[in-house]
Amino acid sequence: MRVITDDQFSYGVAVLVILPPSETKSDGGPGSPLDLDALSFGDLNPIRKTLGDALVTLAADLDASQKALGLGRTQLDEVDRNADLWLSPTRPAIERYTGVLYDALDHASLTKAGKAKATERLAIGSALFGVVRAADPIPAYRLSGGSKLPGFGTLTSVWKRELSATLDAVDDFVVDLRSGIYQQLGPVSGAVTATVVTEAADGSRKVVSHFNKHYKGLMARELVRTRRTVRDVDALAAVLADAGQRVEIASLAEIVVVTE
């Protein structure tokens, strides 16, 4: 592995960072009900419509919803969210998803210019929508990458062909920070992924689990804020090194962030 330190690159915008979604989502929103035509990547709308209608239909059967969505007894309000999918208010996707990664990204604290760059540079994977951009207006819902809806195969079988084709058509350099199950929904040719490991005093390493989301949130924040052009793995690693992260290049398609 090569250890990357600071270097000079030209300025510009040429990166798309795909974030994982989160199980937790904020309620409500100021926007009108879901309009698929208002979402980016419109080629995915037929699948979005099919899955959305399936979720609404499923919501009429509480037991079936609980089983298909993997819900505990304290999570049954998620079924109500799905029942109101086409009726409930929307908010930008970057504000809809919550949790460890989104806390670290801290979109709310970005400057006006930073939020504009977030709109250009951030996308979010989704079991329901495939992928959306940061500003796309979406409602609260419950559907995970590993869910299996009645009458469907796996969500990977539903999404993979169309989602991969859509993402492969993106001109930007793609940094794919989605977790494994969401990467499987639509792999991206040529994308760079990130692995977060912790290093013990004896030099041994293990893959980080919980704090993986935190560090990926920090990565996304730096890639939003940077004025560098990020067109390859070397530039990506340099941006993160600038921010004080210890970064190694494992291959042209993977960086490793080392924590203690």
Model pLDDT for residues 202-215, shown as the tens digit of each residue? 888 998 877 899 99
Q: Rounded to an integer, what distance in angstroms lies between the CA atom of residue 186 and that of residue 155?
A: 10
Q: Specify the residue for token string 């924590």.
A: 259
For the chain, the straight-line distance linking the first and the last C-alpha, in angstroms and rounded, comes to: 18
Q: Rounded to an integer, what distance in angstroms lies between the CA atom of residue 81 and that of residue 256?
A: 37
Model pLDDT for residues 3-34, shown as the tens digit of each residue? 444 333 334 448 999 999 999 999 999 999 99
| Structure token digits, residue 246 | 């210890």
User: What pairs with residue 86 in β-bridges?
Assistant: none
Instruction: Please spell the DSSP secondary structure of 44-107, one letter per residue.
Output: GHHHHHHHHHHHHHHTT-HHHHHHHHT--GGGTHHHHHHHTTTTS-BEEHHHHB-SHHHHHHTG
pLDDT category at 133 given cuts 50, 70, 90 is: very high
